[in-house]
Structure 1
Amino acid sequence: MSSTIPSQQKALFLLSKQGDWKVDHTPVLKPKAGEVLIRVESSALNPVDWKVRDWGLDVIPEYPTILGCDSAGVVIAVGEGVKSVAIGDKVIHQGEFDVRKGSFQQYNLELSHLVAKLPPNLTFDQGATISTAAATAAISFYGPKVDLGGLALTPPWTNGGRGKYAGTPLLIIGGASSVGQAVIQFAQLSGFSPIVTTASLSGADRLKSLGATHVIDRYADLPSSLQVITATPFSLIYDAISSPETKETAHSILAEGGTLIIVEQPGVKEAVPTKEVIAPWAGVNQSPNKEIGAELMANLSALLENGDIKVSILLCLLDCTRNSYAVGDKPNMVEVIPNGLAGIPDGLDRLRKYQVIAKKLVVHPQETL
């Protein structure tokens, strides 16, 4: 069953490993059993998109390919057996790096159990900023305790999961990042306390409203600042920045027998066997995290609509432009890049050069000329 669907669409292709970008025509694919076809209204840019291309990461099965791992849109066709969503539903989902599911195109496919309905209080642009940050945090905490998995904690959406880890201290490096803010909120739902994070103090009130109990100036001496809060070493540290410097600092202050979660490989140069370092893979549609990914997406709409999760970008550092907006505690601040898919390479270059602060870049694929 489907609505009127074009036979052709436009997509941004990565032509080869570390190769060129090209906007080109490609067929609109039909959903298989269990899949939905989505008209992509907004697609967010993430640092992983430029890193896959520039660094030639081995996560692409074949080229040319289509990148993009965050989007929001409208279901326009459903495959056999789909019951959880219907044609016309507004949804958010995490794309995959291939021509079927990458979000840097006007129409893409996804398994129906891996999409979440867009809450009515959110726009497409806001919805497009959510999936990867939420998945990174949730998989880190609740994913299976295997390579590329997480800590296998009990999720807060299950019976007995909310508040289960009360009294367990957590240190987060980079709490103002998209992932950092998601980590703070899932940690609060799980009961972690204290929740200490590093960030610019200009955003301290915002981070405390999300669940942080203490905010340390990101430029302060971290070990001495932590001593003021607690003399007990942290057995769990989440490095949402994962630069070489932050990883080494976090590892040095981690308690013996503790765990450091990083979001980017390689690991710590001087790692010791008595301190665990894990790097979860944030894809909800790939092993080993398919099961927890499906659970997250099944519960994400309710968490967002109830205000339990507000995956947001701090507003204090930049003024809004004509194509940017901020609305209360919703996922924001968003800058819409002009020219649709053709604007993505320039946007990724801005991310590469660290020229994007306190906002997410999104494109509207349907505006591609």
Structure 2
Amino acid sequence: MSPQQKALILLEKQGKFEVGSRSIPSPGPGQLLVKVQSAALNPVDYKIQELGIFVEQYPAVLGMDIAGIVQEVGPGVGNFSKGDNVLAHCEFSNDMAAFQQYTLTDASFTAKIPSHQSFDSAATVPLGLDTAVTGLYGEHFGAGITPPWSKIGGDNQSKEPIVIIGGSSSVGAYAIQLARLSGFYPIIATASPSNEKLVKSYGATHFFDRNLSGNQLKAAISKVTDSPIRIVYDAISLPETQHIGWELLAENGTLILTLPATVKEDEGKGRKAIPTYGAPHVPQNQELCRGSWAMVEHWLSEGTIQPNKFEILPNGLEGIIGGLERMKNGEVSGTKLVAHPQDTQ
């Protein structure tokens, strides 16, 4: 019989979570088996439970973000060894999901953790960073800007403004940091006033209260820059924030969204609204995300990319259930919730 592990299992579509047992999988070609030390929560996790989206097979294990220790290396993997501390972006697949004590990862979307970073901080990176990457640089799910790690990238957007709505969210925080890497200026971000210092620490050059109306925000931004705003990254993407972002956009500009578009593209002005999709595993994103994942260890080591602030949930996998409820109720701001699967009783 295969060795067993504890996992947080969604028993049926739109059903309840329960801690149970399942087999520890073995890595195939290009894969690693990782002992999960830290698993971060994301809004998509409660939306899967609530709306029944993305997952077809039940019982299901959810969770996208992990950090842990490599236990086994699959065939064809040359850049990782047993005992390496790593972070990785998981998949909608029970053997490759985060909310369990051991999971498989794709070596292409796994990176080593620098010695000065903890498992908890590293676990906050994968989905948020990938969503920011695909939104800004993706040809299919984004604005198609040249990535800063490509040979012709770097300062290509120099002195162009960008607006990031929801700068204290996980995706917003990484979008700000990537905008800085791409040479945008000014980098204008909105968030709650209590998160102003945090948002500026990520690299926002100008901060505005998220409660400003569209007209108030437009007037405030006009005092910062008279350049046309061709990129707005709406990391919140509720109908009201999409409307504000749409109003800020110049002709032929792009509004990047993390949820389906509620604004309508208008051919007269050529503005586009593009819902991004931050999964590195889908064919449209694989090449782009291989490029960004090759940079993750370096970025974290140099401090170029700062992980999110985090809060540790108690009671191992069991604690995830209450954490997802808090996120659903809007009780978490500027902070990533992180669970320790190995602490499960």
3-state DSSP class of the match of 2:38?
Answer: strand
Shift of 1:199: 2.0
Does the CA-based 8 Å contact 2:97-2:103 persist in structure 1?
A: yes
Does the CA-based 8 Å contact 1:31-1:77 persist in structure 2?
A: yes
Deviations 1:79-114 (A, max 9, x none): 111101010000001111221111001000012121
3-state DSSP class of the match of 1:22?
Answer: strand
User: Residue 128 of structure 1 aligns with which residue?
Assistant: 123
Are positions 1:296 and 2:288 aligned together?
A: no
- Residues of 1 paired with 2:279 and 2:264: CA distance? 28
User: Residue 211 of structure 2 aligns with which residue?
Assistant: 219
User: Residue 179 of structure 1 aligns with which residue?
Assistant: 171
Question: Map of 1:113-262 to 2, 5 A cutoff?
Answer: 113-143=108-138, 145-146=139-140, 149-220=141-212, 221-262=216-257
Shift of 1:129: 0.6
Identify the range of structure 1 (35-44 vs 229-238) with the bigger mean alpha-carbon deviation.
229-238
Amino acid in structure 2 at the alignment position of 1:10:
K
- Residues of 2 paired with 1:15 and 1:203: CA distance? 37
Return 5+ residue gaps in structure 2 as ranges.
Answer: none
User: Residue 324 of structure 2 aligns with which residue?
Assistant: 348
- Residues of 1 paired with 2:295 and 2:192: CA distance? 31
User: Residue 272 of structure 1 aligns with which residue?
Assistant: 266
- Residues of 2 paired with 1:276 and 1:301: CA distance? 33
Does the CA-based 8 Å contact 1:163-1:188 persist in structure 2?
A: no
Does the CA-based 8 Å contact 1:37-1:109 persist in structure 2?
A: yes
Return 5+ residue gaps in structure 1 as ranges.
Answer: 1-5, 313-331
Deviations 1:159-218 (A, max 9, x none): 232222102211111112111111111001111111111123444344333222211122
1:13 aligns with one of 1, 9, 23 = 9
Are positions 1:34 and 2:10 aligned together?
A: no
Does the CA-based 8 Å contact 2:161-2:228 persist in structure 1?
A: no
Query: Normalising by structure 2, what TM-score?
Result: 0.94
Amino acid in structure 2 at the alignment position of 1:123:
S
Does the CA-based 8 Å contact 1:244-1:268 persist in structure 2?
A: yes
Amino acid in structure 2 at the alignment position of 1:132:
L
Amino acid in structure 2 at the alignment position of 1:186:
L
- Residues of 2 paired with 1:228 and 1:45: CA distance? 38
Gap change, CA 1:358 and 1:77, over 3 Å in 2 = same
Query: Normalising by structure 1, what TM-score?
Result: 0.88
Amino acid in structure 1 at the alignment position of 2:169:
S
- Residues of 2 paired with 1:249 and 1:236: CA distance? 13
Does the CA-based 8 Å contact 1:78-1:87 persist in structure 2?
A: yes
Amino acid in structure 1 at the alignment position of 2:11:
L
Question: How many equivalent pairs are there?
Answer: 339
Amino acid in structure 2 at the alignment position of 1:159:
K
- Residues of 2 paired with 1:206 and 1:20: CA distance? 35
- Residues of 2 paired with 1:17 and 1:43: CA distance? 22
Amino acid in structure 1 at the alignment position of 2:313:
I
User: Residue 283 of structure 1 aligns with which residue?
Assistant: 279
Amino acid in structure 1 at the alignment position of 2:344:
T
Does the CA-based 8 Å contact 2:121-2:307 persist in structure 1?
A: no
User: Residue 320 of structure 1 aligns with which residue?
Assistant: none
Shift of 1:279: 0.9
User: Residue 75 of structure 1 aligns with which residue?
Assistant: 70
- Residues of 2 paired with 1:271 and 1:154: CA distance? 23
Does the CA-based 8 Å contact 1:251-1:271 persist in structure 2?
A: no
3-state DSSP class of the match of 1:354?
Answer: coil
Question: Map of 1:327-366 to 2, 5 A cutoff?
Answer: 332=309, 334-366=310-342
Amino acid in structure 2 at the alignment position of 1:164:
N
Question: Map of 1:30-69 to 2, 5 A cutoff?
Answer: 30-57=26-53, 59-69=54-64
Does the CA-based 8 Å contact 2:10-2:58 persist in structure 1?
A: yes
Greater helix content: 2
Gap change, CA 1:268 and 1:233, over 3 Å in 2 = farther
Does the CA-based 8 Å contact 1:11-1:105 persist in structure 2?
A: yes
Identity of aligned residues (%): 40
- Residues of 2 paired with 1:338 and 1:210: CA distance? 28
Shift of 1:270: 4.2
Shift of 1:137: 0.8
User: Residue 315 of structure 1 aligns with which residue?
Assistant: none
Shift of 1:158: 2.2
